[in-house]
C-alpha cells in the first residue's frame, strides 16, 4: 500500500499544472499517517488553513479541538483531512474573497484523491464532518440530519461515523448539545472499532 506522502507527491504533480498563474495551494492531511484510530474528514480548508497549510486550525478548528478533548483524543493519534484540498472562494459584497461550498467540478476532481488518501492512511474508522464528506463517502442521497451520531458502511470499505460540521455549531447554537451527544457516543464506541468491520 502506498505511503500517504507518495499519494501527496502524486497529487501535487497532478494539481500544479491545473490552475496556472492562480494561487491555489493544497492543504494536505495532518496527524498520524498510518493506521490511526480515526480519520476525520472535513469539507475544504478556509483562509487560516491555507495560511498555515494545515486543516482545521481556524475557527472550526477550535470546535474540533473541543470535540477531541471531549472524546479524550489528541491530534497526534488521529488523522485530519478534507475532501477538497483547495479553498473554494467567491467574491463577497465588499470585494473580499469569502468561503463557498465546493462545487461539482471540485468534488469530482478531489474525491478520487480522497479515496487514494484513505487507502494509504488505512484508518480504523472514518468520521465525516458535515454533509460534503458524508455524501462523498456514503452516497449523494444521504444527509447529515438523518444519520448523524450513527455508524454506517462507507464506499472506502471502512466504518464511518457522521458528525455535524464543527463550524455549523457556530451558526446554529441549538446543534451544540446534539453534537456533544454524538461525540460522546463516538467516544464510547472507540474500544469496539476493531470488531466493527465484521459487522457490516
**Can residue 117 be called a binding residue for ligand URA (CB under 6 A)?**
no
Establish how many alpha carbons lie within 13 A of residue 24's alpha carbon, considering only the half-sphere containing its beta carbon: 17
Nearer residue to ligand URA within complex by CB, 109 or 196:
109
Q: Of 137-196, which residues contact ligand URA (CB under 6 A)?
A: 167
For ligand URA, which residue of 28, 29, 39, 43 counts as binding (CB under 6 A)? 43
Ranges assigned E (strand) in 55-176:
79-82, 89-91, 97-99, 125-129, 151-152, 160-163
For ligand URA, which residue of 29, 31, 55, 102 counts as binding (CB under 6 A)? 55
**By Cβ distance, which residue is nearest to ligand URA?**
42
Cβ atoms < 10 Å from Cβ of 158: 21
For ligand URA, which residue of 29, 31, 36, 45 counts as binding (CB under 6 A)? 45
By DSSP bridging, strand 160-163 and strand 151-152 are: antiparallel
For ligand URA, which residue of 29, 36, 42, 102 counts as binding (CB under 6 A)? 42
Cβ-contact 123, 197 below 8 angstroms:
no
Closest of 50, 27, 64 to residue 164, by C-alpha? 64
For ligand URA, which residue of 30, 49, 117, 182 counts as binding (CB under 6 A)? 49
Q: Which strand ranges, in their side-by-side order, compose the sheet holding 79-82?
A: 30-31, 79-82, 38-42, 125-129, 160-163, 151-152
Q: Binding mask 60-99 vs ligand URA (x if CB under 6 A, - otherwise)?
A: x---------------------x-----------------
Residues that bind ligand URA (CB under 6 A): 42-46, 49, 55-56, 58, 60, 82, 167
Amino acid at each position: 500500500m502506498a505511503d500517504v506522502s507518495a499519494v501527496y507527491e502524486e497529487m501535487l504533480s497532478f494539481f500544479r499544472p491545473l490552475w496556472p498563474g492562480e494561487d491555489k495551494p493544497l492543504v494536505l492531511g495532518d496527524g498520524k499517517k498510518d493506521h490511526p484510530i480515526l480519520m476525520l474528514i472535513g469539507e475544504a480548508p478556509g483562509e487560516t488553513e491555507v495560511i498555515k497549510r494545515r486543516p482545521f486550525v481556524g475557527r472550526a478548528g477550535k470546535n474540533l479541538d473541543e470535540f477531541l478533548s471531549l472524546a479524550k483524543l489528541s491530534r497526534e493519534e488521529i488523522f485530519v483531512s478534507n475532501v477538497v484540498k483547495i479553498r473554494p472562494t467567491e467574491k463577497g459584497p465588499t470585494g473580499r474573497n469569502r468561503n463557498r461550498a465546493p462545487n461539482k467540478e471540485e468534488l469530482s476532481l478531489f474525491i478520487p484523491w480522497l479515496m487514494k488518501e484513505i487507502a494509504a492512511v488505512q484508518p480504523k474508522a472514518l468520521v465525516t464532518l458535515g454533509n460534503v464528506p458524508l455524501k462523498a463517502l456514503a452516497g449523494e442521497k444521504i444527509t447529515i440530519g438523518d444519520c448523524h451520531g450513527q455508524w454506517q458502511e462507507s464506499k472506502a470499505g471502512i466504518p464511518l461515523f457522521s458528525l455535524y460540521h464543527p463550524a455549523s455549531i457556530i451558526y446554529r447554537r441549538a446543534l451544540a448539545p446534539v453534537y456533544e451527544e454524538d461525540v460522546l457516543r463516538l467516544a464510547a464506541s472507540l474500544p469496539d472499532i476493531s470488531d466493527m468491520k465484521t459487522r457490516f
